[in-house]
Chain A
Amino acid sequence: MTTRAALSPEAAPAASGGALLALNNVEVIYDDVILVLRGLSLAVPEGKIVALLGSNGAGKSTTLKAVSGLLPSERGEVTDGSVTFQGQDVTRMDAAERVKLGMSLCMEGRHVFEHLTVGENLVAGAYTQKNSASDLDLVYSFFPKLGDMRNRVAGYLSGGEQQMLAIGRALMARPKLLMLDEPSLGLAPLLVQEIFGYIKRLNEEQGLTVLVIEQNARRALEVADHGYIMEQGRIVLEGPAKELSENPDVKEFYLGLGEEGGRKSYRDVKHYKRRKRWL
């Protein structure tokens, strides 16, 4: 792809063959007319945390929905390209089957089952598992707070607690790949730090592979191994998280760390991005 600017040759993750999850030129169309993903390719290597960053409407959530098979319920469709998980083509697979393969999505906005208790939420998360008693203990030991509140109705939990519950619930399905859609949404900075701490620990202690979408680019690049930047349905930049956070364009557009006298108006930004062939 000519538009993709890899920061350094060795930075790009091993070709899709070695990756746990790989998207190859995925095109997604909603309602038969709205083109949201325009040939998106990315790879998530096993055991790594990969961050997918980008502004509103870039297609980040759509990417995760395409990966987890939720598009049909929203009149969306993968019209071109493929999604492979562990080398297996899952592009048209049923959402439930993908969960069984080990792909779990934590939706944006937490989406806990409000009228169910914390414990029942976790049991619902283990729907695809035959025996989940040990997983329940594991989640409670990982999130001790949830253990204390196991009989509370989830709708009355605070935002941070709900986010923990949403992650714990996704873990109950014993995922190999955990996908998180904006885990920091609507949370206070301290809580955001706590949640990202959990994500890092899950990755280091359990060896869980994570694909995380974030608006909070700085926080995400801190924990991630590799990052992708999306603009208008395509990847425009990728690289190791450290290099990305040093990149002047990323600093200016996503981290809010522009040089003095940098481009201030939207028009200039758009022009600049056009010139770099991002748009």
Chain B
Amino acid sequence: MSTFLNLLVYGLADGAILALAALGFVLIYKATGVINFAQGEFLLVGAYMFYTAFVVLRLPLVLAVVFGVVVATLLGVVIERLILRPMVGESAISIIMVTIGLSMLLQALVQMFYGTSPKSQPALLPRQSVSFLGATVPLNRLLVIGIAAVVLTAFTVFFRWSRHGIAMRAVADDQQAAMTMGISVRRIFAMAWALAAVSALVAGVLLGDISAVDRNLASFGLLVFPVVILGGLDSVPGTIVGGLTMGLLSQYVSGYLDPGLATVIPYVVLVLILLVRPYGIFGETRIERV
């Protein structure tokens, strides 16, 4: 029972981070129609930006977070402006190639400036364990779940009720109609990329704290693909369900069956979902009136 609870907490923590990373991916896809293969690298860059502010520049925690958010926002806006906007109207495959290129570029830049060895960063979240329903679980994982929940809720509230959130959904729905409302599609695209970079930053920092700040952050980011395929490419709630499912699945497979299998299982699910329900659990279906 205690193993079960332990794996539950680990799985939910991984899943919460995955949900954050996938949220950015879905935002970009929904608003701009771009499949962003560089989402994993956004986690990597986010974590290293925070490391730079917190460890290298020795800024206080709050300022380091602000620094990270500002840099991530700029990164998102600049990438949209310089790389994706000239690609508007090009074929989907060209845009995919561009984002793959972007992912390599970002990885190379991080290696160029920070080297390949893991960075040591003081623990942000307390490392002790707490007993929880008879099991001993690490406190930092519980906090990760809590922080991710708060950030995801904030994003959900933004999309549901804020003027800009509704405008983003309007653009995702019908760009030309949105333009007739005076909504600047370019600004919404930039906003989508900026928000994606910020949510990836949060995911990257949390992940860096519970594992390590190194290159593997990007490969964890690759897991957003099974997550978004499961949840639906264009569904925000889908990222949460998909993320938690993948997190729990990997942890339970790793704990009860085989750790090696755990790294494969998300992709097995990905293939199965594509066979059975290609638009995912919550993917938008076209509305047909009868």
Q: Which residues of A contact B (CB under 8 A)?
A: 68, 70, 73, 94-100, 104-107, 111-116, 120-121, 123-128, 153, 155-156, 158, 169-170, 172-173
Contacts and interface: CB of A to CB of B under 8 A. Distances in A.
Contact of B289 (A104, A107, A156, A172): A156
30 contacts: A70-B179, A73-B176, A73-B179, A95-B180, A95-B182, A96-B179, A96-B182, A96-B183, A99-B182, A104-B180, A105-B180, A111-B176, A111-B177, A112-B174, A113-B174, A113-B177, A113-B178, A116-B169, A120-B169, A124-B166, A124-B167, A124-B169, A124-B178, A124-B183, A125-B181, A155-B287, A156-B287, A158-B289, A169-B181, A170-B180
Contacts of A104: 180
A97 B180 CA distance: 10
A128 to B, nearest CB: 4
A28 to B, nearest CB: 17
Contacts of A173: 181-182
B170 A116 contact: yes
B187 to A, nearest CB: 9
Contact of B166 (A95, A111, A120, A153): A120
Most buried by B among A98, A106, A114, A158: A114
Contact of B170 (A68, A99, A113, A155): A113
B258 interface: no
Nearest to B287: A155
Given A113-B174, A153-B287, A123 B180 contact: no
Most A CB contacts (10 A, CB to CB) among B163, B178, B180 go to B180
Contact of B287 (A95, A115, A120): A115
B167 A127 contact: yes
B180 A114 contact: no
Nearest to A153: B287
A156 B287 CA distance: 7
A170 B163 CA distance: 16
Interface string B254-290: 0000000000000000000000000000001001010
Given A95-B182, A125-B181, 13 more contacts: A68-B180, A73-B176, A73-B179, A96-B179, A96-B183, A99-B182, A107-B180, A113-B177, A123-B163, A127-B170, A127-B181, A127-B183, A169-B181
A95 B182 CA distance: 6
**Residue of B169, B172, B175, B177 ringed by the most chain A CB atoms within 10 A:** B177
Contacts of B179: 70, 73, 95-96
A112 B226 CA distance: 32
Nearest to A105: B180
Q: Select the residue from B163, B173, B176, B184 with max chain A CB neighbours within 10 A.
A: B173
B182 A107 contact: no
A116 B167 CA distance: 10
A27 B169 CA distance: 35
A128 B182 contact: yes
A107 B176 contact: yes
Interface in B154-174: 163, 166-167, 169-170, 172-174
Nearest to A166: B177
A112 B177 contact: yes
Contacts of B289: 155-156, 158
A165 to B, nearest CB: 11
Contact of A123 (B166, B172, B173, B178): B166
A155 B14 CA distance: 36
A99 B185 CA distance: 14
A207 B138 CA distance: 67
A96 B185 CA distance: 9
Contacts of B284: 115
Contacts of B176: 70, 73, 107, 111
Nearest to A97: B182
Contacts of A95: 179-180, 182
B123 to A, nearest CB: 43
B88 to A, nearest CB: 10
Contact of B181 (A73, A97, A128, A158): A128
A114 B163 contact: no
Contacts of B173: 113-116
B238 to A, nearest CB: 14
A169 B180 CA distance: 10
A255 to B, nearest CB: 30
Contacts of B287: 114-115, 153, 155-156
A124 B170 contact: yes
A99 B180 contact: yes
Contacts of B163: 123, 126-127
A94 B77 CA distance: 20
A106 to B, nearest CB: 8
A100 B174 CA distance: 20
B166 to A, nearest CB: 5
A169 B178 CA distance: 11
A127 B166 CA distance: 9
Nearest to B177: A111
